[in-house]
Amino acid sequence: MKISTLIDTNILIDVWGPAGPLTGWSSSAIASCRCEGGLVLNTIVWSELAPLIRTEAALRKAADMLAMEREFLPWDAAFLAGVAHSRYRRAGGVRERTLPDFLIGAHASVAGHRLLTRDAARYRNYFPNLDIISPETHP
C-alpha cells in the first residue's frame, strides 16, 4: 500500500538551503518517502519556503523535480489546528509564531498523510495519532 507524506518546511530548507548537519538525513528521508508513496506540500509550507527560493517559478520547478503534489489546507484541518494551538497556549506555550506548525500537523492528520519533519516533539504532543518520520524515529 502506498502512503503519502506531507513534507515539513524544515526538511526542504535542509535540502534546498545551505548545507547543514541534517542535509544528508533530510535528502535520504525524502527519497525513502518518495519510494513508498507520494510527497505532498501544502500552502503553509509553500509560503514558508518563499524567502528561501528566489521566485515562485523556481519553487514550482524544485517541487516538480520531486514530483510533489500541492494540496490546499482542508477546512477541518484549520479547525483542528486552531484547537491544538489554543491548547498549546493555555498550557504555557510561549512561541508566538507556532500556528503554521499546527496547521501543517493538522493537515497531515486530517488527510491521512505521514509527516516528515525535524520537529517531532510538538507534533507528537498535539497530534498523537500522526505517523511522524523524524531523525529521532528513523535515524
**Res. 24: pLDDT tops 70:** yes
Percent of the chain with pLDDT over 90: 81
List for the chain the helix, strand, coil content (%; round to 5): 55, 10, 35
- 80 CB neighbour count, 10 Å cutoff: 20
Q: Report which DSSP code applies to 116.
A: E
- 2 CB neighbour count, 10 Å cutoff: 7
Mean pLDDT of 17-39: 96
**Res. 40: pLDDT tops 90:** yes
pLDDT at residue number 107: 98
Give ∠ CA 58-62-12 in degrees, rounded to 5: 115
**Res. 51: pLDDT tops 70:** yes
Is it true that domain 5-133 has CATH number 3.40.50.1010? yes
Per DSSP, what are the bridge partners of residue 132? Answer: 115
In a 3-state reduction of DSSP, which class is residue 115?
A: strand
Placement of cell 513508498 in the chain: 36
Mean pLDDT of 14-41: 96
Cα separation, 61 vs 66, whole angstroms: 9
* pLDDT grade for 121, boundaries at 50, 70 and 90: confident
Cα separation, 77 vs 85, whole angstroms: 12
**Res. 1: pLDDT tops 80:** no
pLDDT at residue number 93: 79
Report for 27-31, 90-94, 125-129: range of highest mean pLDDT: 27-31
Mean pLDDT of 90-105: 84
Q: How far is CA 87 from the centre of its chain?
A: 20
